[in-house]
Amino acid sequence: MSIDKDIKRYAVRLSSYKQKDGKAAAASALSKTAAKAKTRTIRGVAKDAKLPVKIIRKKVYVKRATINKLRARLSAYRNPVSLIGLKPRQTKRGRKNGGVRAGKHFFKGAFIVRGKQVFKRKGSARLPIEVQRIHIQKIVDDIALKVTVRVMKKDFKKILSHELRFRLSKHRPGT
């Protein structure tokens, strides 16, 4: 008789946990998979653009999934990276040989204005100058999509099964 009561009690308990835990496990798995995709995206973009990971990390973020909204979003600011954040160094002076080296990039004919920005003249005249930047829009678009699809296909099932096992282990009899 006590066994029947226990079975009924566990059945009621499990049915109440089933929906909430399933959604929570799915939301957690989505968020963890998105975080993994974020890491891989950052590293891939940094490698292709020849930039430090530290700079790209500030531009990529994840909106986590919730129980009510089972959707995680990986977003990136795709604006060009200004050279001044790469600690640029002025090389030889003069238009022919001079330039600015910033990280692994070299901009011939560029110059640094009082540590504020890196410029380059558009022509031989003094004033039409433009700020020098490293464009990462195309790189981010290419890599983010490929990496996200690959990580979702490869890791989502494994992470989801781990989350479900973890949540169901909380409700074992005797705990």
pLDDT band at residue 13 using 50, 70 and 90 as cut-offs: low
Beta carbons within 8 Å of 155's beta carbon, 6+ residues apart: 33, 36
DSSP 30-61: HHHHHHHHHHHHHHHHHHHHT--HHHHHTTEE
Residue 171 has pLDDT above 80, yes or no: no
If pLDDT is split at 50, 70 and 90, which confidence band does 147 have?
A: very high
Mean pLDDT over 134-150 rounds to: 94
Confidence of residue 97 (pLDDT cuts 50, 70, 90): confident
Supply the pLDDT for residue 40.
97
Q: Could you tell me if 165 and 171 are in contact, meaning their C-beta atoms sit under 8 angstroms apart?
A: no
Instruction: Tell me if 112 sits within 8 A of 118, measured CB to CB.
Output: yes
Read off the pLDDT of each residue in 33-61 and give the average, rounded to a whole number: 96
Q: Over the chain, what is the mean pLDDT? A: 87
Token duo for residue 78: 């795709």
pLDDT at 1: 46
Spell out the residues 6+ positions from residue 171 whose beta carbon is closer than 8 angstroms to its own: 13, 14, 17, 21
Q: What's the pLDDT band for 48 if we cut at 50, 70, 90?
A: very high
**Which pLDDT band holds residue 9 (cuts at 50, 70, 90)?**
low
**What average pLDDT does range 118-130 have in this prediction?**
89
pTM of the model: 0.81
